[in-house]
Amino acid sequence: MESGEPVTTAPLAARLTAPRGPLFFPVTAYGPDGELDLDVYRAHVRQGVEDGAAAVFACCGTGEFHALTPEEFQDCVRTAVEATAGRVPVVAGAGYGTALAVRYARLAAAAGADGLLAMPPYLVVAGEEGLLRHYREVAAATPLPVVVYQRDNVVLTPRAVVELARTDGIIGLKDGLGDLDLMQRIVSAVRGESGGDFLYFNGLPTAEQTQLAYRGLGVTLYSSAAFCFAPAVAVAFHRALATGDDGTAHRLLDGFYRPFTELRAQGRGYAVSLVKAGVRLRGLDVGEVRPPLHEPSGDHVKQLADVIARGHALLEEAR
């Protein structure tokens, strides 16, 4: 979406159904003292919108939701809303136990967010009945539409997702498991039993790496961490998928996304800290990650710079 395009009052689900660019999950910026740097965060979000993001998912996994106080969370969401100025929707994370998830949902609503990404409850491995109650309470807490994030300790059966799809305020499921058999059964069950539209997102750490497979299931939405630090590459890949240009998609997968995925696998927490290092390589000092995450090694940052350079070279070769 171009900067300056008029604001739309369309519901969030309609705005996400056929996005014209990647879904942007900004990192959270900290200053040298480790405190929030909202000016840098604002610049990061604004640049993402100008680079073609279709939506901003603020304070989610890449944005270190786990490391933010409620006050910091609300400040970040409010800043993202101000930076986007209505040009694209802002979806905020909400998580932990039910009481805190409801609190974060209300803070996000007060900050002007357009929707919520309901992340897995903290620590517990809950049964399906408890999970359904949890997400229903989060959905009922505000008027904001909710996308449920399936990963780690939240593995939902097709029947449970049918129940979620029938719940007022829940509009979609983001999958961070990568079990394509389960996803196919979920899509089929919801299509056959709940009626209406329901959104699905590929939410794996480098979603582009698996998006051709997800596309085969009819899942066209995906999160793009790479957009944070290589937006031109991410936009080119998104366009290739949208136009059926599998040749370009394969070249970027082979030359950029696969090497990045392999590098990301070299350290725990690199799905966040390596992305943040990439944003710094681009010239925006968003600071380091907060503990318990740790910074990538100097050699890994150098390898990341080489991967980014190769991605840009591939775009040049295609011209």
In this predicted model, what pLDDT tens digit does every residue of 170-187 receive, in sequence order?
999 999 999 999 999 999
The arithmetic mean of pLDDT across residues 282-299, rounded, is 97
pLDDT of residue 10: 67
pLDDT at 115 over 60: yes
Cα-Cα end-to-end distance for the chain:
22
> To the nearest whole percent, how much of the chain has pLDDT over 90?
91
With a cut of 60, say whether residue 5 has pLDDT above it: no
Residue ranges of alpha helices (H) inside 95-245 are 98-110, 128-141, 158-165, 180-193, 211-216, 231-243
Q: What is the mean pLDDT of the chain?
A: 94
Average pLDDT of the residues in 233-239: 98
Who contacts 232 (Cβ-Cβ below 8 Å, separation ≥6)?
51, 312, 315
Could you tell me the pLDDT band of residue 196, with boundaries at 50, 70 and 90? Answer: low
Q: Is residue 209 part of a domain?
A: yes
141: tokens are 């807490």
**What are the residues facing 199 on neighbouring strands?**
172
Do the domain assignments include residue 318? no
What does the alpha-carbon distance between residue 293 and residue 303 come to, in Å, rounded to a whole number?
20
pLDDT average, residue stretch 116-130: 94
| Residue 256 is assigned to a structural domain of this protein | no
Domain that holds residue 50: 19-229
Q: Look at residue 28 and tell me if it is in a domain.
A: yes
- The sign of the dihedral angle between the CA atoms of 154, 157, 159, 165 is positive
Looking at the domain assignment, is residue 236 inside a domain? no
CATH of the domain at 112: 3.20.20.70
Confidence of residue 19 (pLDDT cuts 50, 70, 90): confident
Q: pLDDT digits over 27-72, tens only?
A: 999 999 999 999 999 999 999 999 999 999 999 999 999 999 999 9
The number of beta carbons lying within 10 Å of the beta carbon of residue 33 is 8
Domain count, the chain: 1
Establish whether 302 is a catalytic residue: no
Q: Write down the catalytic residue from 30, 104, 135, 174.
A: 174
Which residues touch 69 (CB under 8 Å, ≥6 apart)?
Answer: none
The pLDDT tens digits of the residues spanning 76-91 come to 999 999 999 999 999 9
Residue 313 forms part of a structural domain: no
Spatial distance between the Cα atoms of 4 and 276, rounded to a whole number of angstroms? 27
Q: Residues 149, 214, 257, 270: which is the catalytic one? A: 149
In a domain, 4, yes or no: no
**149 in active site:** yes
Q: Which long-range contacts (CB under 8 A, 24 or more apart) does 126-131 make?
A: 126/153, 128/156, 128/157, 128/160, 131/156, 131/160
pTM value? 0.94
Q: Which residues contact 109 (CB under 8 A, 6 or more apart)?
A: 142, 143, 144
Residue 316 located in a structural domain: no
Give the model's pLDDT for residue 269: 95
Query: Which residue's entry shows tokens 């229903």?
Result: 136
Q: What is the four-CA torsion angle of 262, 263, 265, 266, rounded to 10 degrees?
A: 130
